[in-house]
Chains A and B, each alone.
Chain A
């Protein structure tokens, strides 16, 4: 076995230098990860210096270290949030008992499935976004894209750390498989649907980071309540990074709206498309699409898996401490169901409705961001309101899959759906138009593409026209 000085190359707070098991697993996995990154990571920028934030330790000083780095040399590290002293199982049948530092054998397979499913989304999003660098609207955005990408890479490391440390040979095999699946590949797709959808224009990228990464945030919040303490600590640290991804999405769309409204205002009588900006209707349709497929990621409305994960303490609700009852055996949840072609309410045992509980919080969080967007539109005096469609709209998973609903949530027939689909969801024409705006990248420091406004400020106190990516 060749000896690599891992602690030098891999910043960590898991005592890697004395962990033979982890060292051995990484010996094999690391080269495969690098070749995956080279093959499937951002296309065309692997040798460029990028001004990136790197976590070099878990404390407040070290988790946000900024410097130029070439992406393949990025120091993907392994960090766990600091342990909580005498932490207790926050929910389920074993509520109040000490958390687990090792995996109880009876939960091994379920926990592995949960971790693999979460882990699979991380490389998937890198793959989905690998061509975006070639159509970037500015060096500032290009850098943000790469920041998101390397952090998704680090999140993959975080999940692989758990697989390597706690799941033995099975874990190592699953860690390899995470590098073998490919987003959008029919023969070997990523596990979850939304992570196989193309994300090849910047409107999609911003929507993805706003909606789909936000699903990730809520899954991480739920997992950070896990009785399996290493999972809880890993996901708590990941959440600090995930916040940046949502910032990229939220401000990205905000700048698009700012630009569209400003240009429309400056050129009355002309349409947005004539002016080379993205019309608000197209933005609404993109929102409808990314919101609805991200809702699917939470799983079925009524779920025996969700109930057993909660009962076993494998997964809690987001910020479990905000609730009073952490056992949830006697409570019910009012669920909208479809009975004989009509909506009706039905009481479902709360544990079985945990996916829906999490989805509800997610929806509220999304609405807060959409409200900010609408304030921007209002400030420009434009009469248009972006809305989140009904949770029933365009669903492929759960109670509402296979049925047709308007964005307002009314049940309709297939014919009506077919007739109106193109007013609700992105069309080929929309996509072609959005892509036509982005057919040429903007690489000059400080310059912005026509369809997006400049950010209010740069990164880490640097000016907006800072050379965030050195392309020479």
Chain B
């Protein structure tokens, strides 16, 4: 199968029509039936596959960076009587387990990006449903701040997965029903077991939508709601920044971006990801930053990292271990961090760069791969790059005279939280919060953290000296590669996300884990499972044992 690529552009969208009218952007879903990413299924009734979501993610990203004038995003459907019927069942039925899991993870991330757009960038979001909205379609709607549903006697919102397919709504639907929309749990239960869904007034009464309107008054209602939403929305002034193509050079096992290099060692099942610091000083004024645009290191590098992570997830399922290295000047990284923090107080572009960093780092946290950070000579795990080492499951730091150092910037203390809302330092020192203060104090007094200090502060796992280094690192990697990948995924996910639950951690930790379990069970994917028999003359036959 051809590799799946994540870079696209509105000029090439096949599934969405992105329109801009003043301060309102509209995304109309219009999926061609033959528009699937791979052959073998037909995208009927605006049902989607990964290709549809790749475009959606791109559109959200471009609205953020390229269209500062936009204050509201309307998500709507271009087809008659149907907004979206969710993820394509035949696509799911014919996918590998690993693909299904990654597909759901990516769509979940994209839904969260929609919410992030509204919450942190001030672009208000509205789902305008002029037709049936089922499963993943309704989950997409729920990721918007408001839902407007046409009251035509037939258009319903529904989550038919349980009654129809024997699986779960896998894109956060159940969690958002009760945690975000705060639908009463017994009503949510009833709603989630009625395949045909709920329409009109009842949908409104149950809190499933925010407004219902007859077809005749629908566009007026839409306008009204939009103008309500954009009241007091924050102004983002100045020119947008065009997101230029990353255009990596792919050479067999190596992918070279400008600041990121991904080297895949298929035999060892290890991927080496090297990240370079900026070579030149980062712009320190908003004007200069705008002039640098998509070439600004912090934006470019994290976009490249994001692309490499997605490449690993979808195109290299056999790779179990991701080894992170950084090279270059820590001073330049710290300078970039410092100017972004300063500029973000007033400049939306700087602020968007930080928000993007945060999302990419969360993507790294969610990798179902072991992550090791290698802090050896000439590395620069500083500030925003220190987050990579803190995201790793284990870190190795070389202990020699004049060896490597770590460093913090203000970014490590709040701007880049994990899904739990904790910073990676807070999560690391969950049992000893005073350690975070000690790290800060050490930075203030010493300026950098050498290996001995890193060990004492608890910032790294192992600190072999030059004699042990090679063996320790090699053996740790080989050992890791030999364990059960399933057990490691479960273990790592359990250990990474310490601390409080949020909507996000519940979606990835609870809903996804259940869904992935169900996806493996004969009741879903067995010979007579719900997914298998969907659309065939056979009815599913369940094994009724409960656990």
Contacts and interface: CB of A to CB of B under 8 A. Distances in A.
B42 to A, nearest CB: 45
A20 B468 CA distance: 10
B279 interface: no
Contacts of A9: none
A461 interface: no
Interface in B471-530: 471-472, 474-483
B538 to A, nearest CB: 40
Interface residues of B, number: 16
B432 interface: no
B467 interface: yes
Contacts of B464: 168-169
A105 B472 contact: no
A372 interface: no
B467 A106 contact: no
Nearest to B479: A105
Please name the 8 residue pairs, one residue from A and one from B, whose CB atoms are nearest each other, closest first: A105-B478, A106-B482, A105-B479, A105-B475, A168-B468, A21-B467, A168-B472, A108-B475
Interface string A35-59: 0000000000000000000000000
20 contacts: A20-B467, A21-B467, A21-B471, A102-B474, A104-B478, A104-B482, A105-B475, A105-B478, A105-B479, A105-B480, A106-B481, A106-B483, A108-B475, A108-B478, A108-B479, A168-B464, A168-B471, A168-B475, A169-B462, A169-B468
Contact of B475 (A21, A24, A103): A103
Contact of B471 (A106, A109, A166): A166
Contacts of A109: 479
A21 B468 contact: yes
Contacts of A106: 478-479, 481-483
Contacts of B474: 102, 105
Interface in B455-470: 462, 464, 467-468
A219 B317 CA distance: 42
Given A106-B478, A106-B479, 16 more contacts: A21-B468, A24-B467, A102-B471, A103-B475, A104-B482, A105-B476, A105-B478, A105-B480, A108-B478, A168-B464, A168-B471, A168-B472, A168-B475, A169-B464, A169-B468, A169-B472
Interface string A336-367: 00000000000000000000000000000000
Contacts of A103: 475
A105 B467 contact: no
Nearest to A165: B471
A169 B471 CA distance: 10
A109 B483 CA distance: 13
A16 to B, nearest CB: 14
A108 B483 CA distance: 12
Nearest to A23: B467
Summarize A's interface: helix, strand, loop or mixed: helix
Interface residues of A, number: 13
Contacts of A102: 471, 474
B185 to A, nearest CB: 46
Contacts of A21: 467-468, 471
Of B467, B472, B477, the most chain A CB neighbours within 10 A belong to B467
B272 to A, nearest CB: 16
A168 B483 CA distance: 21
Nearest to B483: A106
Contacts of A166: 471
A197 B506 CA distance: 56
Contacts of A169: 462, 464, 468, 472
B55 to A, nearest CB: 42
Interface in A301-317: none
Nearest to B469: A168
Nearest to A24: B467
Contacts of B482: 104-106
A103 B476 CA distance: 11
A103 B471 CA distance: 9
Contacts of B472: 168-169
Interface in A155-184: 166, 168-169
B481 A105 contact: yes
Contacts of B479: 105-106, 108-109
Interface in A236-252: none
A109 B479 CA distance: 9
Nearest to B468: A168
Nearest to B471: A168
Nearest to B477: A105
A21 B467 CA distance: 6
A134 to B, nearest CB: 43
A24 B467 CA distance: 9
B466 to A, nearest CB: 9
A283 to B, nearest CB: 49
Contacts of A24: 467
A337 B474 CA distance: 44
Nearest to A109: B479
A105 B468 CA distance: 14
B85 to A, nearest CB: 46
A20 B471 CA distance: 13
Contacts of A20: 467
A268 B479 CA distance: 69
Interface string A317-350: 0000000000000000000000000000000000
Nearest to A22: B467
A203 to B, nearest CB: 46
A102 B471 CA distance: 9
A14 B475 CA distance: 22
Interface string B282-300: 0000000000000000000
Of A21, A24, A166, the most chain B CB neighbours within 10 A belong to A21
A103 B470 CA distance: 13
B518 to A, nearest CB: 31
B400 to A, nearest CB: 13
A173 to B, nearest CB: 12
A315 B304 CA distance: 47
A106 B482 CA distance: 5
A102 B475 CA distance: 9
A103 B479 CA distance: 10
A71 B481 CA distance: 46
B13 to A, nearest CB: 46
B452 to A, nearest CB: 15
A195 B480 CA distance: 35
A103 B477 CA distance: 12
A314 to B, nearest CB: 14
A104 to B, nearest CB: 6
Interface in A74-105: 102-105
Interface in A165-223: 166, 168-169
Contacts of B478: 104-106, 108
A24 B465 CA distance: 11
A102 B477 CA distance: 14
Nearest to B466: A20
B306 to A, nearest CB: 30
A169 B476 CA distance: 12
Contacts of A168: 464, 468, 471-472, 475
Nearest to B463: A169
A168 B471 CA distance: 7
